[in-house]
Amino acid sequence: MTNKKILIILPAGDKYRITSVEQIVPKRNMLRFSILPLLLVAALTPSDYEVDICDENVQMLDLNTDAGIIGISFMTALAPRAFEIADFFRARGKTVIAGGYFPTLCPEETVSHFDSVIIGDAENLWIKALYDLENSKIQKVYKHAPDEERDQIPIPRRDLIKKISKYYVTINAIQVGRGCYNKCRFCSVTAFYKGKYSRRPVIDIISELKGVSRELIFVDDNIISEPEYSKELFRKIMPLKKRWVSQCSLKIADDPELLTLAKKSGCFGLFIGIENICPLNLRKMDKEFNLERDISERIKIIRNAGIGIVAGLIVGMDGDDVTVFRNTLNFLKNTGIDAIQVNIMTPLPGTPLYKEFTESGRIADTDYSHYDFRHVVIHPLMMTPAELQNGADWIYSQFYRLDNIIMRFLRSIFVIGLVNSFFSLRLNLTYRYDNKREKIYGHDPSVKLSD
C-alpha cells in the first residue's frame, strides 16, 4: 500500500540553506515568490494524503522523514541541490517527483534523478501521478495534452507555512494569471508557457482576497497582460481596501486609466523589468516595447501616481562595455528608481538565449548552481568576465550605500508618499543587509585601479 505522507521541498543554495551547522535564519524577512507552487500542489493533493512542506531557506530538511513521497520544485540554480536531495531519498526507497521551471524546460537532464517529472503546471498532472503511483504504474514523464482543459486553480494551503510565516514579508501570495505574451529571449517564463497567457476568473480572485490580510503580493509576471481584464479586477478590488505589490511592464504608464485604477485598488509598488539602458540591447532581446516611449518619462509617470518602482536590470549584454555600470547608476539616480535587482546576463537552459550562446560557444560555466544571476557564466562580448562581475557588484554596493538609501528615502516622500517610502526604505535595507552578508563590493571597471 502506498505511503500517503508527502513532503514537498523548496531547495536552497549553499549560501542560504539551513543545516545542522548553519541553523540561523538571516535577520531579514523574505519576499518570496517560489513558495506558492508548493502550497498549490499541496492544495491539489487528495484529502486522504498527509502533506507537509520544507523551505530550506528557513528550515532544515528532515532527512529522516517518514514521508513516502517527496516532491521537489526548483529552478536552474537549484538543480544541483534538487538532484542531491532526489538521489538521497530514492536511495532510501522513497518515490521522488520533480516539478517547476528546470524540470519542465530540461526534462532529459532531470529524469535520471527522479522517479517522475511533471512538465508544466501541476493541475491535472499531479493527481494523475499520485493515482498511477497507488496503482504501481507511475510514469517517468507527465505532460499536458495540447489544448487540455485544466482543473481550476485551488486556494493555496497557506496553513502549511504558518509555523514559518515570521520569516516572510507576507504569506499572502496570490496569482491572477500565468504566463506572458511578451517574447523576451532571456525569459524562462516565456519558454515555460510558450508565449501564452491564461487568467483566473475575477470572481475567484476576489473570493481568495477576502480570506487574506490587507497587505499581499500578486505573483504574476505581468499583472497587466490583458489591460481590460486588469481594469475590471482593480475595480473589484477597490472596496476590499487592500495594499499590494506585483510585477508588470512599463506599458502601465501608457494607459492613464489602468494606472489610476491600479493605484486606487491598493497598488503601492511594482517590480518592472527595465533590463538595460541601451536600445540596441533591448531590441536584440525582443524587448522593443520598452522603447515605445521614453523610459525615464514612463518611470516618472508611474512614480508620480504614488507607486514605487523596483527595477530589474541586466548587465553584460552584447552592447555593454565597461561604461555601462557608471551610466546605469547615473540613470538610476536621475530617474529616482526606488530599489533595484541587478542581474548578470545569464542564459537559462530552455530559453532561446541559451540556444544562441551554446551554438556560438559562449557558455563559460556549466555549473547550474552559478546560474543565479550573480555569477558570470558567459564570455561577454565587450568586456572580460572579471570586469562584468566587478561592475555588477559595484552597482549593487553603490546603489545600496547607506547615504544613498537615506537620500532616496527623503526624496521619495514627496513623490510616492511617506508610507510607501518607508516600505521602500525597508526593502533597501534588506538588500543592503544581503550585500554586506555576501560581501558584495566590486569596483567600477571603467576606472583603472592604482598599483
Percent of the chain at pLDDT above 90?
80
Average pLDDT over residues 168-174: 87
Nearest one of 259, 328, 324, 335 to 294, comparing CA atoms: 335
For the cut 50, the answer to whether the pLDDT of residue 282 exceeds it is: yes
Q: Domain 169-437 maps to which CATH number in 3.90.226.10, 3.30.420.40, 3.80.30.20, 3.40.50.300?
A: 3.80.30.20
With cell 523576451, the residue in question is 184
Q: Which residues are within 8 A (CB) of 303 and not within 5 positions of it... i.e. 6 or more apart?
A: 309, 336, 338, 412, 415, 416
CATH fold group of domain 5-143: Rossmann fold (3.40.50)
**Predicted pLDDT of residue 451:** 42
State how far the Cα of 106 lies from the Cα of 369, in Å rounded to an integer.
Answer: 15
DSSP 25: P
Cell numbers linked to 334: 536621475
Query: In 10 A of CB 251, how many CB atoms?
Result: 20
pLDDT digits (tens, 9 = 90+) for 382-424: 999 999 999 999 999 999 999 999 999 999 999 999 999 999 9
Higher pLDDT, 114 or 2: 114
**Predicted pLDDT of residue 53:** 95
Nearest one of 346, 24, 343 to 185, comparing CA atoms: 346
Query: In 10 A of CB 406, how many CB atoms?
Result: 12
pLDDT digits (tens, 9 = 90+) for 327-368: 999 999 999 999 999 999 999 999 999 999 999 999 999 999
State how far the Cα of 122 lies from the Cα of 192, in Å rounded to an integer.
Answer: 13
Reduce the DSSP state of residue 93 to 3 states and report it.
Answer: coil
**Predicted pLDDT of residue 169:** 82
How many CA atoms within 13 Å lie on the side-chain side of 117?
21
Phi, psi torsion values for 448, nearest 5 degrees: -70, 130
For the cut 90, the answer to whether the pLDDT of residue 306 exceeds it is: yes
State how far the Cα of 201 lies from the Cα of 121, in Å rounded to an integer.
Answer: 18
Q: Which residues are within 8 A (CB) of 101 and not within 5 positions of it... i.e. 6 or more apart?
A: 74, 75, 76, 188, 192, 350
What DSSP letter does each residue of 96-163 carry, written as one string? EEEESHHHHH-HHHHHTT-SEEEES--TTHHHHHHHHHHTT---SEEEPPTTPPPPPPPPP-GGGGGG
Percent of the chain at pLDDT above 70?
96
Query: In 10 A of CB 74, how many CB atoms?
Result: 27
pLDDT digits (tens, 9 = 90+) for 110-159: 999 999 999 999 999 999 999 999 999 999 999 998 877 776 789 999 99
If pLDDT is split at 50, 70 and 90, which confidence band does 166 have? confident
**Least-confidence region, from 137-141, 213-217, 267-271, 298-302:** 213-217
If pLDDT is split at 50, 70 and 90, which confidence band does 171 have? confident
Higher pLDDT, 150 or 191: 191
The alpha carbon of residue 185 and the mean position of all alpha carbons in its chain are separated, in whole angstroms, by 17
Average pLDDT over residues 370-379: 97
State how far the Cα of 56 lies from the Cα of 62, in Å rounded to an integer.
Answer: 10
CA angle 395, 386, 399 (to 5 degrees): 5
pLDDT digits (tens, 9 = 90+) for 357-366: 999 999 999 9
If pLDDT is split at 50, 70 and 90, which confidence band does 22 have? low
Average pLDDT over residues 185-204: 91
With cell 551554446, the residue in question is 358
Cell numbers linked to 139: 510514469
Strand partners, 59: none
State how far the Cα of 350 lies from the Cα of 356, in Å rounded to an integer.
Answer: 11
Q: How far is CA 393 from CA 19, 374, 403, in A?
A: 27, 8, 18
Buried b / exposed e across 83-94, counting CB within 10 Å, b at 16+? bebbeebeeeeb
Q: Give the residue extent of every domain in the chain.
A: 5-143, 169-437
For the cut 70, the answer to whether the pLDDT of residue 259 exceeds it is: yes
Higher pLDDT, 25 or 18: 18
State how far the Cα of 207 lies from the Cα of 130, in Å rounded to an integer.
Answer: 29
State how far the Cα of 44 lies from the Cα of 47, in Å rounded to an integer.
Answer: 9
Q: Which residues are within 8 A (CB) of 333 and not within 5 positions of it... i.e. 6 or more apart?
A: none
State how far the Cα of 53 lies from the Cα of 69, in Å rounded to an integer.
Answer: 12
CA dihedral 144, 147, 153, 157 (to 10 degrees): 10
**Predicted pLDDT of residue 17:** 87
**Predicted pLDDT of residue 336:** 95
Phi, psi torsion values for 378, nearest 5 degrees: -125, 170
Identity at 59, one-letter amino acid code: Q
